Amino acid sequence: LHSSAMRLAEGAVIGLPRALLFFELYPFWRAFFNGLGLVCAVSAPTSPETIEIGAREADDGTCLPVKTFYGHAASLRDRVDAIFLPRLVSLTRGTYTCPKMLGIPDMIRHNLERMPRILVTCVDATRGTGLVESSVALGRSLGRSAAHARTAARAGLEALRVFRDGLEQNLSFSQAIVEQFPREISRLCRETGNDASVGPGRRLRARVGLVGHAYNLFDPGVNLDLVRKLAKLGCDLRTSEHLSLVEVEAESSLLPKAIFWSGGRRVLAAVSLFRRQRLVDGIIHVVSFGCGPDSMVGEIAEREIRRSSSLPYLALTIDEHAAEAGLVTRLEAFTDMLERRRAGVGSA
């Protein structure tokens, strides 16, 4: 379950790669490690260099988010006492992440050289080892008492609750983080750069539902600053991350078959909610090239939309070769079309 079960002294620095489920669980890990007396160092925002290093070090067959994870892990190796690579199997009972995410600790350990001590804990809620249980066990392996580790895990849960509440109120990732870590995190949030709304003085042209993995929606270095581009074009956004868990489960129960990938389940629930409640004028699905779950979920989402509405749907596939110019052209064309439909010109 844990690698390097050895005490870590107070003040030791733990590296957190800013990739994959960092965008869902950062508040939890941050509050948890701080509660154990440890300091968190988050890797710098994704840059072309992060992606280049990741693409060089990772297996050719991996998706861009995993390659990006490699780049972030590599950037931390000389700066921290230990790097944290959780094995995330299942975050809620009955749902699963994906095989690549599950294998991340092993892939990094075997493919990246000169890594510092690696901390691993296995989160598998389906088998009864959720976030709290797995982190208490990790805290114990680092030399903390059970009571101390439990208190730190509870602080983590509370931080996660505040963060999720923020997202459900339609805050962006960075706004939701600022809510609870106002001082130290301000730099992280400015760097994340994903706050975007049409803003004062700009004309609203369309309401867009942006769906996909949090790490594709909230990382401007991976998605070519998609959120800001859409805001500049006059689009107001609702994302799949703004749904509560209750909404995800309620919408999933309306589908012919619930999907067991947690990321895919949230995407399909968002598509269903946005369509049924007419919350958006069109949907953009951000898909990772080479991702099996994304291609299947995309297919189901598109069919679901076509079967019951005329809502425009755009699948944007991203990989390390995605080009800025092509993306802008597609977004402009999509927004123009949504705007014409809102005005009642040429609507289907």
Q: Alpha-carbon distance 95 to 99, whole Å?
A: 13
DSSP classification of residue 123: E
Q: Is 333 helix (H, G, I), strand (E, B) or coil?
A: helix
Among candidates 294, 239, 230, which has minimal Cα distance to 264? Answer: 294
Asked whether position 100 contacts ligand SF4 by CB under 6 A, the answer is yes
Supply the minimum distance, in Å, between the C-beta of residue 103 and ligand SF4. Answer: 10
Q: Alpha-carbon distance 112 to 74, whole Å?
A: 7
Q: Binding marks (x or -) toward ligand SF4, 202..221, rule CB under 6 A?
A: -----------x--------
DSSP classification of residue 44: P
Instruction: Report the first-to-last Cα separation within the chain, whole angstroms.
Output: 54
Q: Alpha-carbon distance 36 to 227, whole Å?
A: 35
CB 12 within 8 A of CB 81: yes
Q: Binding marks (x or -) toward ligand SF4, 254..293, rule CB under 6 A?
A: ---------x------------------------x--x-x
Supply the minimum distance, in Å, between the C-beta of residue 298 and ligand SF4. Answer: 11
Assigned token pair, 337: 């079309």
The residue (of 58 and 243) whose beta carbon lies closer to ligand SF4 is 58
Of these, 25, 82, 101, 217, which contacts ligand SF4 (CB under 6 A)?
Answer: 101
Supply the minimum distance, in Å, between the C-beta of residue 201 and ligand SF4. Answer: 36
**Residues in Cβ contact with 241 at an 8 Å cutoff, skipping those fewer than 6 apart:** 167, 173, 214, 217, 218, 266
Assigned token pair, 176: 């939701």
Asked whether position 63 contacts ligand SF4 by CB under 6 A, the answer is yes
The residue (of 66 and 91) whose beta carbon lies closer to ligand SF4 is 66
The residue (of 37 and 103) whose beta carbon lies closer to ligand SF4 is 103
Among candidates 261, 251, 163, 276, which has minimal Cα distance to 212? Answer: 261
Supply the minimum distance, in Å, between the C-beta of residue 199 and ligand SF4. Answer: 30
Among candidates 312, 268, 309, 317, which has minimal Cα distance to 291? Answer: 317
Q: Alpha-carbon distance 217 to 176, whole Å?
A: 15
Judged by CB under 6 A, the stretch of 59-67, 82-90, 304-312, 337-345 that binds ligand SF4 is 59-67
The residue (of 72 and 213) whose beta carbon lies closer to ligand SF4 is 213
Give residue 193's Cα distance to chain centre: 14
Supply the minimum distance, in Å, between the C-beta of residue 63 and ligand SF4. Answer: 3
Judged by CB under 6 A, the stretch of 62-70, 130-138, 308-316, 337-345 that binds ligand SF4 is 62-70
Asked whether position 98 contacts ligand SF4 by CB under 6 A, the answer is yes
Asked whether position 65 contacts ligand SF4 by CB under 6 A, the answer is yes
The residue (of 65 and 312) whose beta carbon lies closer to ligand SF4 is 65
The residue (of 209 and 293) whose beta carbon lies closer to ligand SF4 is 293
The residue (of 98 and 152) whose beta carbon lies closer to ligand SF4 is 98
Asked whether position 294 contacts ligand SF4 by CB under 6 A, the answer is yes
Computed from CA positions of residues 96, 97, 98, 103, in that sequence, does the dihedral angle turn out positive or negative? Answer: negative
The residue (of 66 and 284) whose beta carbon lies closer to ligand SF4 is 66
Q: Alpha-carbon distance 191 to 123, whole Å?
A: 29
Asked whether position 341 contacts ligand SF4 by CB under 6 A, the answer is no
Among candidates 331, 27, 345, which has minimal Cα distance to 162? Answer: 27
Residue nearest to ligand SF4 (CB): 291
Binding site residues, ligand SF4, CB under 6 A: 63, 65-66, 98, 100-101, 213, 263, 288, 291, 293-294
